[in-house]
Chains A and B, each alone.
Chain A
Amino acid sequence: MSQSKQEVLLGNEAIARGIVESGCHVVTSYPGTPSSEILPAVVRFKKELGLDTHVEWSINEKVAYEVALAASYTGKRAAVIMKQVGLNVAADPLMSSAYTGVRGGFVVISCDDPGPHSSQTEQDTRFYALFAKVPALDPSTPREAKEMVKAAFELSERHYLPVILRPAIRVSHARQNIEFIPVVKLQRPADFQKDPGRWAATPRFRLQLHKELNEKLHDIQEEFETSELNTSVPGDDRRLGFIAGGTSYAVLRDTLQELELEGRFPILKIGTSHPIPQRLVKEFVAACDQVLVLEEPDAVIELQILDKSKLLGRLNGVVPSAGELSPEVIRQLLVQQANELGMETPTEIDTGELSQLVGDLGLPVRRPRLCPGCPHRAAFFGMKRALGSKAIYPGDIGCYTLGLNLNAVDTCLDMGGAVTIASGLYQAYRQDNRDVPIAATIGDSTFLHSGVPALANAVYNGARFVLVILDNSTTAMTGMQPTADSGMLADGGQGQRVAIGDLVQACGVKFIEEMDPYRVQEFEALIKRASQHTREPDGGVAVVIAKRPCVLYDPSPLEENPVPVTISEDCDGCRYCLIAFECPALVLDEDLGRVVVDRRICVNCGVCVEACPKGAIVEAEE
């Protein structure tokens, strides 16, 4: 045989490879940046290798967690994958399963997003490990992430505990050449052994389980004292040492090299963020004058270190307490420390001057925008025309949060938050006998994730508002994962469809109508009727399902029925369409003093014909 196969993989694909090479039997997930590419890569390897791995996109993270956990109850290996805020949703089973323990290896993969780049918080998954009293492993590179998946399964099976793997975005979305190890099938017939004192433990047994958990955690800490997951880099200059984990360790290593300080100061790399190897850390700290702690997004290792007198970190303000520890930030920290020790560092170009110059150019800021032809834009535009700016527009998590740009999203809290915020707003205004129109928007996948209980609650408690479910047939923001409404399964197979309209009806909603939002005038009229329903004596929540596939997911309807537009001489460059409609394909030509269509990106949806109050955007003649 030639040398083993290598491939340049995304960190998330490397994690998937680790899952498959560990013989994992059941893998569940709910998509969310930066975790979304793991499950599809598991599907890829499953197909390539002809494995019978059960993979599923679950309805939400709590559900995903529990489905995978049950597989572990039977002795199989299982993994559940989510983004960091997804673990909030799955926090309930996480806490409880730490007490009950597991049987087959059970790995919880929760990807963090320091920055944040694509999340509502910069929260640190590793705090959940402390909270739930379970171990957490923190990889620095895709290659290490793959190895840590295997270590996590083994650790989980040695101690019968869930193990958290916490890759940060710079691991998940890094690319690196990864070696493939042949996959050996792990025979584990499902064998659930009844043990009510554990799997159905009442509070009386829970105290015992808590004591057991403490013992497990103690044993794990002992194991971590000598684990290969924690490594050190020697250095003779003990005036400064580094304790670092995850991405920060990787950036530290590269930056030390660039500053010609490689090998000078000792480094302790902590791969086991919880529990940290206390003795190892204590010895390391004792040997140094000062220790800079580098980790992100929060001070999880630092907080666990008992004697903090020599530490430089987030707790004493040396390391910034928000935002990513980018290479630029870490370089600045290192240069500062080196200078304090009286050391010179190599000079570099001063990019501050350049940043100033480029800033002064006033280049257009390319903020994220809905795509040309996006059906959400049409829906938001119709809603705004129907209800105006006095109405309150609770929004939700997905591409359609960008309705913000059209002033059609006033709140964005969390998954399902549109429905609950709309309910709460209604109750608050109703108390004062005030009638303020409320029109909430939520995507199809988000509605299924946590909108359903929120809607049942709204109906039950008599809330009144318009709920527009933006059904584009897919989970677009995170890369087109199928939804339960489509019935398509994670591996491409056909499952049983769960129709959104049926769920809405089952929640007790009396006004349910579905329409293609591209029909702007009719859609506007529908929103008005829906709003009227919320005011009628026997009215209530009105649900409008705005149904049209995402143009990236399914461009075929537009290819079959294109509506090319042209802009007539009547355009006076008033910018109304640019502000109220904000399609990237409509641009102001400064020289002509009017709007033109960028043909390279226009998808011929024709909706913008409605967006000009002067009627200057017209359908092109054949």
Chain B
Amino acid sequence: MLFATKVFSETALALGHDVLGSETHGMSQRGGSVISHLKIGSYESPLVRHATADVVLAFHPHEAYRGLVFLRRGGLCFVSGPDGDSWDRGVKDYMAENAIAAYVYPADDVALEIGSPRSANLALIGYAMSVPEMPFDHDQIRATIERITPSRFRKANLEAFEAGYRRKR
């Protein structure tokens, strides 16, 4: 989670943008829901307010339900979860009314298949980057991953990212 945030914040910084974000430490880290906020551009407060986020990345379907509240009208939601349409009907209507596009991708399975379950977040990022509305492009994000991943995980992270980008199972 923190690494996923770092991928975007480091990319933004490398391209000359200001970044400001917020993360969770302490008691809340012991198994509770962990939310990381990131704002790119000129801001004062690190917190993203409800109904204002452009993008939500959720690493579990339950977290997607909890994270949706942050999305603005027309926002994007990427969810790591099993294939198939399993959204709650009412939530699905809410997303349709507010032009929120949700993409579900089995990032955990993909990462497991390429033998690096810990790289699931990178697979989801790769998948998200295949959607043209995302900020930054494939090469910019890939360059950041190459730069900031410790060498022993680099190959696995890049492989997961590319698998996601090519939407490969």
Measured CB to CB, the residues of A under 8 A from B are 6, 8, 10, 33-34, 36-37, 117-118, 140-141, 170, 173-177, 247, 249-251, 253-255, 258, 326-328, 331, 348-349, 351, 353-355, 357-358, 360-361, 363-364, 366-371, 399, 401-402, 477-479, 584, 600
Contact = CB atoms under 8 A, between A and B. Distances in A.
A367 B32 contact: yes
B28 A175 contact: no
A250 B24 CA distance: 19
A369 B91 contact: no
Interface stretch (B45-53, B132-140, B161-169): B45-53
Contacts, number: 147
Nearest to B2: A175
B152 interface: no
A173 B23 contact: yes
A402 B30 contact: yes
B13 A6 contact: yes
Interface string B30-42: 1111000010000
Nearest to B52: A258
B43 A34 contact: no
Contact of B62 (A250, A328, A363): A363
Contacts of A354: 68-69, 91, 94
B27 A117 contact: yes
Given A358-B91, A361-B65, A370 B22 contact: no
8 tightest CB-CB pairs across the interface, nearest first? A33-B26, A118-B26, A327-B49, A174-B46, A250-B45, A250-B44, A368-B30, A118-B27
Contacts of A348: 51-52, 72-73
A368 B31 contact: yes
A212 B165 CA distance: 67
A369 B30 contact: yes
B119 interface: no
Nearest to A7: B13
A479 B9 CA distance: 23
Given A176-B21, A348-B72, 16 more contacts: A8-B9, A34-B26, A117-B24, A173-B23, A175-B21, A250-B46, A254-B49, A258-B52, A327-B48, A354-B94, A358-B66, A358-B69, A358-B91, A369-B31, A370-B30, A477-B26
Given A349-B73, A351-B51, A368-B30, A175 B20 contact: yes
B26 A357 contact: no
B28 A331 contact: no
Given A8-B19, A349-B72, A328 B94 contact: no
Given A349-B72, A363-B66, A399-B30, A173 B25 contact: yes
A255 to B, nearest CB: 7
A37 B26 CA distance: 11
Nearest to A370: B30
A14 to B, nearest CB: 12
Given A354-B91, A367-B32, A251 B69 contact: no
16 contacts: A8-B19, A118-B27, A118-B28, A141-B44, A170-B45, A176-B18, A177-B19, A251-B45, A254-B44, A327-B45, A327-B48, A358-B68, A358-B69, A363-B62, A368-B29, A369-B30
B67 to A, nearest CB: 10
Contact of A117 (B28, B33, B68): B28
A353 B94 contact: yes
